[in-house]
Amino acid sequence: MLKLFPSKHSLRSIEAKFSNHVLLTSLSSSSDLSTIILDSKTPKQALEFFTSILKQNPKNPTKDLRLYSAIIHVLTGARMYTTARCLTKDLIQTLLQSCKPHRVSSLVFSALNQLEGSKFTPNVFGVLIIAFSEMGLLDEALWVYRKTGVLPAVQACTALLNGLVKKVNFHSMWELYKDMISHGLVPSVVTYSVLVNAYCSKGDILKARSLVNEMVKKGIEPTVVIYTTLIRGLCNESNFVEAESMFRQMKESGVLPNLYTYNVLMDGYGKIANVKLALHMYQDMLNNGLLPNIVTFGILIDALCKVGELLAARGFFSQMAKLGVIPNVLVYNSLIDGHSKAGSQSKAMDLLLEMERLKILPDVFTYSILIKSVCSLGTVEEADNLLKIMEKKGVQPNSVIYNSLINGYCKKGNIEKALEVCSQMTKKGIEPNFITFSTLIGGYCKVGKMESAMGLYSEMIIKSLVPDVVTFTALIDGHCKNGDMEEAIRLYKHMLKAGLSPNVFTVSCLINGLCKAGRTSDAIEFFLAKTRGFVQGRADF
């Protein structure tokens, strides 16, 4: 084996070879190469050498993991954590192409653990935990955490806890947190942010606040992230009085709300259709020197469209262009939905064409809005054409789109075409759902095909899909019109047993049916029973 660095002259010779990318022809052993990385004068020099190796061997950079292990140790020891984490992620991503995640964690851990010498730093395992956590490989991150047997840095602990919160695995997160505390973890303000987020995500605002009180007692001041998380949790619970109080409290504490804080509040107001308060918050944001982003505009435009304020929504859309904020598919979907619900189908279609001109690709929700709107106007053929266009562009339809088309054809009495669409749906691997069955039952009832309707009803029951009052009413009405009052009454009783309350249409259908069957006294008695507020009336009529 070539003796490394025997003299200053030899060192200069090797460095010259390195700079000319000739070193690899002299040093074939990966242990020699990793030694050079470890003995580099600076982390930058080590990284440059490592990069040159990758460039000369791009096909299989992970042939020997010792090189990665060496550079990750060097960078971690030099506190270049971001670069070390990026390289670790790159290594993991490459290994995942040929190995299962657990095998990857074992390989990388072993490579890092086998390094000997002064450049070894246990902090590399914290870097590995963070890398796995940020990549969503939580099982592997947990395995490394347990394998090390030593509590990693607080940053690694926090990243692991945050990964579990993102996976909505709260039970495991709290169990892990208890374990970390038992091993001496001192939570940082970022750790508390993760824990507060966990409680808020579950809707447990009281416990989230107790954590904030715990922080303050320890002398840790809540940050804008923690305040915003609490405000978001309160908005999700529709507790806007407390959310506004928290907003005032953060400002009084000297913590300035950021753009995300304002977006959270505006979004909350938008969801309850309180556009006035959303706009007030927007103005307050501008007064505090914060400029809106695409999320801000998306929230306001969507809120305005939902309440029919299309002119104001277009005003904000124009303002986006003035501020250089490029609209996205979500903004266009809101505008298309607003115009569709207002009956302005031509304007909605113009917006679709505008999207295409601006190279903004429509998604499944765009087409879902348009197809549903077109079907409601009775032009199902146009909706069918939109379905073909979206499929041609590689956008796969969902159950909402198919159900809209089925409903459109059923309303026109074209059951055959509705069934054809249902067949297309199942061929695409989309199972008919409650809405599909209810729509088809309604369609059959409308054309008097009660045997087919009852067949679908039986299939619903077999599939454990419970019909709602609308479905029962359609069946009851169909049987009443066919003069089959016995079956109509049987379904009515079944509906009551299912815990469903009849609506005014259910009652009207039965009364009309009873009258047509010559059972006027039963119809009057049933009507009087319902008007007195009895839920079941006379079960035997």
Please spell the DSSP secondary structure of 78-133, one letter per residue. Answer: TT-HHHHHHHHHHHHHHHTTTS-HHHHHHHHHHHHHT--STT--THHHHHHHHHHH
Instruction: Give the single-character DSSP code of 288.
Output: T
Per-residue model confidence as pLDDT tens digits over 6-16: 344 444 444 44
In this structure, are residues 373 and 340 in contact, taking their beta carbons and an 8 Å threshold?
yes
Query: Any idea which residue has 């002064």 for tokens?
Result: 118
Query: In the structure, what pLDDT confidence band is assigned to residue 32 with cuts at 50, 70 and 90?
Result: confident
**Alpha-carbon distance 107 to 283, whole Å?**
54
In this structure, are residues 507 and 540 in contact, taking their beta carbons and an 8 Å threshold?
no
Per-residue model confidence as pLDDT tens digits over 265-292: 999 999 999 999 999 999 999 999 999 9
Neighbouring C-alpha atoms within 13 Å toward the C-beta of 519? 19
**Alpha-carbon distance 467 to 437, whole Å?**
9
Classify burial at 252, counting beta carbons within 10 Å of its beta carbon; exposed 0-12, middle 13-18, buried 19 or more. exposed
Query: Any idea which residue has 């959310």 for tokens?
Result: 243
**Alpha-carbon distance 427 to 448, whole Å?**
28
CB-CB neighbours of 58 under 10 Å: 7
Please spell the DSSP secondary structure of 208-268, one letter per residue. Answer: HHHHHHHHHHTTPPP-HHHHHHHHHHHHHTT-HHHHHHHHHHHHHTT----HHHHHHHHHH
In this structure, are residues 17 and 23 in contact, taking their beta carbons and an 8 Å threshold?
yes
Tally of helices (H runs) and strands (E runs) in the chain = 31, 0
Classify burial at 400, counting beta carbons within 10 Å of its beta carbon; exposed 0-12, middle 13-18, buried 19 or more. middle
Per-residue model confidence as pLDDT tens digits over 414-467: 999 999 999 999 999 999 999 999 999 999 999 999 999 999 999 999 999 989
CATH of 272-359, one of 1.20.140.10, 3.40.50.300, 3.40.50.10490, 1.25.40.10: 1.25.40.10
Q: How many Å is the Cα radius of gyration of the chain?
A: 33
**Alpha-carbon distance 317 to 320, whole Å?**
5
Question: How far is Cα of residue 506 from the mean position of the Cα atoms in its chain?
Answer: 39
Domain ranges in the chain are 31-182, 187-256, 272-359, 362-432, 457-535
> Does residue 118 have a pLDDT over 70?
yes
Judged by DSSP in three states, 363 sits in: coil
Handedness of CA 128, 134, 140, 145 (dihedral sign): positive
**Alpha-carbon distance 109 to 101, whole Å?**
12
Per-residue model confidence as pLDDT tens digits over 212-261: 999 999 999 999 999 999 999 999 999 999 999 999 999 999 999 999 99
> Does residue 142 have a pLDDT over 70?
yes
Confidence (pLDDT) at 56: 77
Per-residue model confidence as pLDDT tens digits over 144-161: 999 998 899 999 999 999
Please spell the DSSP secondary structure of 458-510, one letter per residue. Answer: HHHHHTT----HHHHHHHHHHHHHTT-HHHHHHHHHHHHHTTPPP-HHHHHHH
In this structure, are residues 132 and 144 in contact, taking their beta carbons and an 8 Å threshold?
yes
Of the candidates 341, 353, 349, 280, the residue with the CA atom closest to the CA atom of residue 305 = 341
- Average confidence (pLDDT) over 320-336: 95
Neighbouring C-alpha atoms within 13 Å toward the C-beta of 472? 26
Written as one letter, the residue type at 66 is R
